[in-house]
Amino acid sequence: MGFKLGESVFLKTDNEQHENIVVSVRQFYGGTTTYTISCNGSYIDVYECELSHEPDQLKLLNIRAEKLE
């Protein structure tokens, strides 16, 4: 799969599904890859399994339903 520098990504654990940008890619011996993403004005390091190309629609629907109540 993989993500490229400058690509828009979504953090799977982010309840609000904010769009983030990949700012760094690090590959380690053994095949592990980590990414640094810009996230709400700061930077966090994550593994590939924590990222997605698309937002989680169920989380987005739940947020919208809560705001309507």
Number of Cβ within a 10 Å radius of residue 35: 23
Phi, psi for residue 66 in degrees, rounded to 5: -65, -40
Q: What is the pLDDT along the chain (69 residues), one digit of tens a residue?
A: 689 999 999 999 888 889 999 999 999 999 899 999 998 789 999 999 999 999 988 887 776 556 655
| Cα separation, 62 vs 16, whole angstroms | 9
- Judged on CB neighbours under 10 Å (0-12, 13-18, 19+), 36 is middle
- Is 29 in contact with 47 (CB distance < 8 Å)? no
